[in-house]
Chains A and B, each alone.
Chain A
Amino acid sequence: MSEINPGLDTDAIAMAIHEGEESKCKKDGEGRTALARFIKKTSWAAKASGLGLALFSSFLAMAALSSLLAPYDPWIRFEPYLWPGEEHLLGTNDLGQDILSELIYGSRVSLIVGFGAALMATIIGTTIGLFSGYFKGTVDEILMGLTDIFLMIPQIPLIIVLAAFLRPSFWMVALLMGSLWWTSTARVVRSKALQVSEMGYVRAKRALGFSSLHIMLSDVLPNICHVVMPKFLLSIASAMIAEASISFLGLGDPATKSWGMMINFAFSRGGFINGYWWWYLAPGLCITLFVMSVVLVGHFLEEKEISTLRSE
């Protein structure tokens, strides 16, 4: 469901997949063409996802090793408004802080928010989807009803209203997003859990008298992981865009420098009007590149999943 940013929405992608799953009953006969298509497509898709993976890991390295990579402490002040040059590769901002160092340290905050929100959303979504897919019946009705209701909450406006009252830290923003964003994961996991829990090995375990919780954790969950993973990656992407958007509104944590906050500072402190392009261009590009890398890897995993399903 798209709201303020018509950019990323995993729900829309989930919906597209969901529709595909509903019509999966007509699988037979279709397998061969799909497989042929997959092989034909692989080279391009693999190349794109390879690029995505390379980008993704370099951003991870940047966040992990920021204290080694950054030339300066991001809070030290030099001469303000310096053009990109030898001393400061990406110039300095209005307070004279080195943009490159800010950018490298900012990757930490942005990635933590993205991963934190996505992790939370994935845990909630997987649990709810697993329970409703495994137990079916009333449990399913209630949990899916809850999911439908959460799907109808206008998320970004709600976060804006809450953030206006609370002035949250970036942890809070991540948790808030995570607790609203799990719906599409829950739906996908549920439909997969419905299938898996009818498999022979699950029935056999049930007949042997293992507890439901044990079966869910040791048999159903491992067979769902491959659907959860791409959803997790796509949630990171949408959380990153949302964090950048919320920071842009000035609702971020002013004590931390995320990429979104850097753009917000550049916008609100005149970097834009005065044409200091180096101030906001680099963080914006970083957001785009990181989100793109995550989406590429996620999409590749997802398409692989769909094609293996079909060629089975």
Chain B
Amino acid sequence: MSLSGKKALRYLVALFLIFSLNFAIPRSMPGDPLTNLLGEDVMLTDSYVLELRAKMGLDRSWPEQYLEYWRDILKLDLGYSFHLHRSVSDIIFERMKWTLLLAVPALILGAVLGALSGARAGWKSGSCIHKMETAFFLAIYCTPPYFLSLIVLYLLSFKAGLFPLKGFYSTGSAVDIAHHLFLPMTMMTLFSLSRNYMIMRGSVLQEKGSLYAAFARAKGLYDEEILFRHVFKNALLPIITLLALDFGFILSGALFIEIVFSMNGMGSLIYDALLSRDYPILQGSFLIITIMVISANLLADLLYSRLDPRVRWQ
């Protein structure tokens, strides 16, 4: 199960290109590159600006700056946020924990529930209940996540007062955190569930017509047995690949949910950085997300070749 050289080369080129893009963007955009690198509305004295310019190598040539950029990345130095007065990597690693707490359970739950209910819906695609279920999930699938979250937040937290309005915690006890997490996690699960549901449904619909399923039926197996012992495994492949890819987007995946529920994770970090034009944070987050996305793609490839014998023996 070795990764082919071509594939590996593609991953390296992609990583290289995106990192280079990240280098080029602040330096080629309109305006002073120092402003573009530090963020706007940063108050600094003139002498400090000169010192920074020299320190960040902006007075040197592009190739030199480029080498310096890679050296910093290899040292895990993502720069310094002049808005938050801390190093970017510190802030990101601190915020990441909260996003993971929200997103990991939601993604896993969404994949499991989506695969199970989608499989049943595809298997019995004629039944009335499943048709209504499909229509419901299709409607969710077509709604911008932030819009539905806004409405749910308004109705359940603001009007009914059942859930807290914002944040991850107010007192910090486990019950309190769970209470805060419930609504955003439900919303995120719902969206990942509806996506997985639609895909699993289509996948089972395709597998259902295949010969091995007909054979299993001819042998006299029960419906449930055919679905969960034979069809399910084959139909699950796209979901597993997508789950692996989802983990790549786990840090930015909760962006809109976090903004709506005012939760201090990576998503609102990016949003706040956007509002205050805190470019180092934006770029640092972009780099971390890129690394995660590319490794998730790698993971999906490896998983796929291990799970699907047709790919394995090629």
Contacts and interface: CB of A to CB of B under 8 A. Distances in A.
Interface of A: 1-9, 12-13, 15-16, 19-20, 22-23, 26, 29-30, 33-34, 37, 40-41, 44, 48, 141, 145, 148-149, 151-154, 156-158, 160-162, 164-166, 237, 241, 244-245, 248-251, 260, 263, 267, 272-273, 275, 277, 280-281, 284, 287-288, 291-292, 295-296, 310
Residue among B21, B211, B249, B275 with max Cβ neighbours from chain A (10 Å): B249
A277 B253 CA distance: 27
B11 A165 contact: no
B57 interface: no
B221 interface: no
A33 B218 CA distance: 14
B138 A292 contact: yes
B42 interface: no
A275 B125 CA distance: 40
B14 A154 contact: no
Nearest to A30: B209
Given A13-B202, A281-B151, A288-B144, 5 more contacts: A6-B145, A20-B206, A161-B283, A237-B142, A295-B142
B160 interface: no
A4 B29 contact: no
23 contacts: A4-B249, A5-B191, A6-B191, A6-B192, A16-B206, A22-B310, A34-B209, A37-B205, A141-B6, A149-B10, A149-B13, A152-B18, A152-B293, A154-B252, A158-B21, A160-B270, A245-B145, A249-B271, A260-B144, A263-B146, A284-B150, A287-B143, A295-B142
A158 B249 CA distance: 13
Contact of A2 (B30, B139, B249, B256): B249
Interface string B7-33: 001110110011001100110011000
B287 to A, nearest CB: 10
Contacts of B22: 161
Given A4-B255, A6-B253, A295-B138, A12 B195 contact: yes
Contacts of B286: 154, 157-158, 161
Interface in B193-224: 195, 199, 202-203, 205-206, 208-211, 214
A2 B242 contact: yes
B199 A161 contact: no
A190 B246 CA distance: 25
A288 B146 contact: no
B256 A4 contact: yes
A145 B6 CA distance: 9
Contacts of B252: 3-4, 154, 156-157
Nearest to B274: A164
B36 A165 contact: yes
Interface of B: 6, 9-11, 13-14, 17-18, 21-22, 25-26, 29-30, 36, 110, 125-126, 131, 135, 138-139, 141-147, 150-151, 154, 158, 188, 191-192, 195, 199, 202-203, 205-206, 208-211, 214, 237-238, 241-242, 245-246, 248-249, 252-253, 255-256, 259, 270-271, 274-275, 277, 279, 282-283, 285-286, 289-290, 293-294, 297, 310
B19 to A, nearest CB: 11
Residue among B6, B30, B248, B255 with max Cβ neighbours from chain A (10 Å): B255
Closest 5 CB pairs of A and B: A284-B147, A291-B142, A3-B249, A292-B142, A165-B29
Nearest to A33: B209
Contact of B154 (A152, A245, A272, A287): A272
B29 A26 contact: no
A67 B283 CA distance: 42
User: What DSSP secondary structure best describes chain B's contact surface?
Assistant: helix
A249 B211 CA distance: 49
A3 B286 CA distance: 13
A86 B203 CA distance: 49
A2 B246 contact: yes
Contacts of B143: 7, 284, 287-288, 291
B211 A29 contact: yes
A9 B293 contact: no
B273 to A, nearest CB: 8
A30 B207 CA distance: 10
Contact of B14 (A34, A153, A245, A280): A153
Contacts of B248: 154
B206 A15 contact: no
Contact of B144 (A148, A160, A284, A295): A284
